[in-house]
Structure formats: structure tokens, C-alpha cells
Structure 1
């Protein structure tokens, strides 16, 4: 399993945002300091208020609106799903980071949550996912 821990300014507001983009809150592992949000059976996002997040590290918590610590790519089943999660994110208070990118074999968008954490939802053609994109095979030959 993967647990992505994200520092957030407002746990309740962040929880509402993540629910709006399709995640499900796990009440068993949530309280006023943290919300456990399930993306899938194996991928979970822990939304931690800054004070609680700080108990896990001695490092300064960055302002994700002005600095980048990571970008989280989320594989989806279709282009329509990529568009839907991006629209849901913007509607729920997130920010679209750039125009859609269509590479033929892969389609992606990007958004930031209200705290500035970057997400890149994408769809990849199953054949390209298995064999690699054609232009990569041409370069290797």
C-alpha cells in the first residue's frame, strides 16, 4: 500500500475537496488533525494539519503554492475521467495548472489542490503502457 502524507492548512476544507474529486474518507483513521482519504484499495492520502505533519519531520513545511515538493500522477481509465476529475477539482476550489496535453498515446491535465499540491491525472493507451509509445521504439532502433 502507498500512503501519501500531505500537509494542509484546513483539514475540513481539504477533506471536502478530496471528496469532491472522488476520494472516500476513512473515518477509522480520521480526526480533527487528519483525514484518511482512500483513492483505491492500495493508495491513500493522509491530509494532516501542519502541527500534526510536523511531528513526522524536522524539515520546514513548504508552501506548495510557491514551491514544488512533488507532483502526483494519477492514472485514470479514460480521457473523459481525466477531464471529469480536473473539472471537479476546479469546481471544488482547486486550480488548473495548464491546458490539456494530448500526445496521442497519452492524455493529461494538471491541477493543484487548495494548498497547492500538484496532481497530473492522465490516461495512457493500454498498448503504449505495455509496449511503450511508438516514438520511443523508433528512437531505440
Structure 2
């Protein structure tokens, strides 16, 4: 069985300053060792999960395909947090700081989630799951 040590999700962004401000206001931080004037290393779970937020110009050097412009969906990014309250806190911070809503929240008793698009149009789902409440 293959086990992944860590994951780096690479996403194109238009403006690093706007991107850094947005994620900082949501309570996230960056690994400065892997951040520069071409990319930011957003820490999602230190040592395990990161998102490389890369300028369009630099991102284009990694692919021969066109870069999504924020008006199409290429991927949905789902992150799990520790509580329903944390879901609401992150989504409200996102909406107050340049994010937009693309879908309403949903509560399935055992799973609660809400969603936002970041300033570059990347779609994020923030969820909380309580395995004890999963219908069996």
C-alpha cells in the first residue's frame, strides 16, 4: 500500500499580496521558506498539507495547458475542521475579506459544511464531521 507523506495543492493566483492578505485574515499562515515573489506556501496542516499559491506567470511554466480563470470549476477543495463553529468562522471571514459564496451551507446532522470561492475563484468547502452520528 502506498502512503502519502504530505500533499501540496498547486493553485494559480493573480495577486500574491491579495492572496496573502485573504488567507491571513482567515487565520492561516505561510511557510516563508517556500514562499517568494512567485509563490506562497499556505500551511493547511503543518507537516502534512499545504497549498502552493503560484502567480499565473510562474504557474504556466509547470503546464502546457491554459490556466483556469476562476469562471470554471476544475477542482473542489474540501478541508475538515474541528467544529461547526469553526466552519462558520472560516466561511464568514472568507466572505468578509474578498471571498464569495457559490453554494449555501448544508447540515446533514453527522456532517456540516459551507463553501466559499477565494479571490481567484478557487472553490473551497469547509466541513465538520461527527462519525458518531453517521447513520448506520
Identify whether the pair has TM-score above 0.5, normalized to the shorter chain. yes
Identify the residue that residue 63 of structure 1 maps to in structure 2.
69
Deviating 4+ runs (over 4 angstroms): none
1:120 aligns with 2:120: no
Q: Aligned partners of 1:43 and 1:111: how far apart in 2?
A: 19
**Larger helix proportion of the pair:** 1
Identify the residue that residue 8 of structure 1 maps to in structure 2.
13
Q: Aligned partners of 1:76 and 1:26: how far apart in 2?
A: 20
How far has the Cα of 1:114 moved from its partner? 0.4
CA offset digits 1:111-131 (Å, max 9, x no partner): 000010000001111325xxx
Secondary structure of 2:79 counterpart: strand
Q: Mind listing any 5+ residue stretches in structure 2 that lack a counterpart?
A: 1-5
Q: TM-score, normalised by structure 2?
A: 0.91
Q: TM-score, normalised by structure 1?
A: 0.88
Q: Mind listing any 5+ residue stretches in structure 1 that lack a counterpart?
A: none
Aligned CA RMSD, in angstroms, stands at 1.1
Q: Aligned partners of 1:114 and 1:38: how far apart in 2?
A: 18
